[in-house]
Amino acid sequence: MLLILKHELLKTYLKWRTYIGFIAILVLVPVAEVALKLEGGSMIQRMTRGIDEDFLLVGNLFNGYFVTQFIMNALWVHIPFLISLVAGDQLAGEATGGTFRLLLIRPASRGRILLTKYITTLFYAFTLVVFLALVSLGLGLTLFGSGPLLVMGKTFTIVAANELAWRMALAFGLATFSMWCVASLAFLFSSLVENAIGPIIGTMAVIITMLIISNIPVEVFRSIRPYFFTHYLTIWQKALDDPIPWKTIGNHLAIIGAHCIGFYIITWYIFVRKDILS
Amino acid sequence: MPSDIVLRTYALGKRYKERWAVRTLNLEVPRGEVFGFLGPNGAGKSTTIRMLLSLVTPSEGRVELFGLELHKHRHDVLSRVGGLVERADFYPYLSARRNLEIVASLIGGLQHHAIDEVLELVGLLQRAEDRVKTYSHGMKQRLGIAQALLGNPELIILDEPTTGLDPQGIKEVRELVGRLSSERALTVFLSSHLLSEIEQTATSMAIINMGELVVQGKVTELLSTGESFVKIDARPFEETRTLIGQQRFVKSVKHINGILEVSMPLDQVGTLNRLLVHAGIEVHSLIPRRSLEDYFLSITEGTTDIR
């Protein structure tokens, strides 16, 4: 099993396609951060307009953590797209390349091969989120320095600078979980077709449709929002709440986990019965 | 004591919606032989092979390898089988060695020298570190055979391994198959749509058409049974017909569009030719044929529906 996993990882990480996501992050994050740097603190001023009449805001609020938090909003659509590029290719790519005929005639069971591919997919999502963290935080702290984090929502919270290292680690950890859900969906779609384009389009179509429905200000749509996994893509924001809502995080993680397991079981059911005709 | 039959199918069939790609197929592949699986394109050869290698689930019947049912003993059975299904496809961005390591990991891992050995056997050891995308079609086919040989299988199943190869490549693959059978005592299941290929390579054979088994048995027996005849185009026509009709070994003579079709044993062809030439007859062509060959040609040309 470990040997198969090792080769699955090698296959994925020796493929040019795998690095599209990393390159995209390496281009987009610096561009966004440099643009924010050029714009100066006007963004913070706009966000704190009204608040600064009642509160005295001191310290460097326009800092690397704030910029990273801003960039993490890419976890709605951009990062899922990059993840589906690889996750959607895991099974469909083998079908397109005809290499299922190489793999599935061997003693290793389809279930075992599928599991190693799924672990590889999750590992890819993990490395992409870690890379996003390293680039956005590394460059952010270099360009903007450190300081407390202003979190704007229905209320506003300021998280002390000395807490931010572990809170950011927690936020990216939770983001990884939510991206695993996206990866699992793309992986499921990948088992259905023989071309990697389909899973990418399918995954993005599901995410965008769910996001649009969730954001329509009608009560009936609001009430079904918790049933959409996209509702939990922002779980990382909970790591920046004060106090941290551990119970809510636990519930959301359980729901994300249930989605991942559900998607995987469906994929397994399809894959072990699938006739390989490619 | 091991069975003499390494592969057996029982009423094997595969249906795609309303269409049966393979139906009620009963095959028996004897141990240590090169078994030719012959049929025209679309006859159901690849579907059968996909069922034998668990890529496709049969709609009916079952496959037994080494006396074990494939469905129930997949791991044990496939540990003893190697295969190449249709075109040899690999990961083009990886080296040949890395590709074989991937296959080896699915067998349970093999020593470095085992990979070297199969690469050497197919003449690719010197190119082992090159990416597969730099390989020619013939080299990929040879690499396909190499991966089929990983893990020292007792049976290898090759699906039209010479397709798309140049004459030299075809010759090399045929010789390799012959060597594998004789030197390694491997059982080889070889599919082809060319009777000549099966004739030159196989010891046993089966013919499939429109998803159904037409005939199976020893190649020599199948090709010698049935009527043999010679098609002769010679002038003057009447004199030729009279002379041929006088020979004892000739069973019958038919006249079809200016060509004489003479029913006779094929070992008398030389004698007949000599007689005609000595009689001053101008022989334009003299083509020995067997009924099986003609039959196969007729189904491959789509002129005969065997049902």
pTM equals: 0.85
Measure the CA–CA gap between B146 and B142, rounded to whole angstroms. 6
> B269-278 and B237-245 helices cross at what angle (nearest 10)?
130
Cβ contact B154:B4 at 8 Å: no
Measure the CA–CA gap between A135 and A113, rounded to whole angstroms. 33
pLDDT, averaged in runs of 10, over chain A (278 residues): 89 92 92 82 67 65 83 81 93 92 92 96 96 92 84 76 88 94 95 90 91 83 83 86 89 92 96 90
* Minimum CA–CA partner of A104 in chain B: B55
Residue B237 has pLDDT above 90, yes or no: no
Residue B304 has pLDDT above 50, yes or no: no
Over residues A142-184, the pLDDT tens digits come to 988 888 887 777 777 888 778 888 999 999 999 999 999 999 9
Measure the CA–CA gap between B277 and A256, rounded to whole angstroms. 89
Q: How confident is residue B305, by pLDDT bands cut at 50, 70 and 90?
A: very low
Q: What is the dihedral of CA A15, A20, A26, A29, to 10 degrees?
A: -150
Measure the CA–CA gap between B33 and B45, rounded to whole angstroms. 19
| Chain B residues touching residue A277 (CB < 8 angstroms) | 50, 56
Residue B307 has pLDDT above 50, yes or no: no
Q: How far is A143 from chain B (nearest CA, A)?
A: 38
Ranking A1-15, B140-154, B207-221 by mean pLDDT, the lowest is B207-221
- Selected residue with higher pLDDT from B198 and A268: A268
Query: Which of A188, A90, A91, A178 shows the shortest CA–CA distance to A126?
Result: A178
| Chain A residues touching residue B101 (CB < 8 angstroms) | 7
Measure the CA–CA gap between A118 and A100, rounded to whole angstroms. 16
| Chain A residues touching residue B147 (CB < 8 angstroms) | 102
Q: How far is A185 from chain B (nearest CA, A)?
A: 24
Which is it for strands B34-38 and B5-16: parallel, antiparallel or unpaired? Answer: unpaired
ipTM above 0.90, yes or no: no
DSSP state of B188: E
Measure the CA–CA gap between A56 and B237, rounded to whole angstroms. 119
Tokens linked to A124: 């890819």
Q: For all residues of chain A together, what is the average pLDDT?
A: 87
Q: What percentage of chain B carries pLDDT values higher than 70?
A: 93
CB-based contacts of A140, cutoff 8 Å, min separation 6: A33, A63, A64, A65, A67, A68, A71
Query: Which of A135, A105, A178, A157 shows the shortest CA–CA distance to A28?
Result: A135
- B-facing residues of A in 197-256 (CB < 8 A) are none
Ranking B218-227, B257-266, B275-284 by mean pLDDT, the lowest is B218-227
| Chain B residues touching residue A107 (CB < 8 angstroms) | 74-76, 78-79, 106-108
Over residues B84-124, the pLDDT tens digits come to 998 889 999 999 999 999 999 998 877 778 899 899 888 88
Q: Chain B residues with CB-CB distance to A under 8 A? A: 50, 53-57, 74-76, 78-79, 81, 83, 85-87, 89-94, 98-99, 101-103, 105-109, 147
Measure the CA–CA gap between A103 and A124, rounded to whole angstroms. 21
Residue B287 has pLDDT above 50, yes or no: yes
B252 in helix, strand or coil? Answer: strand
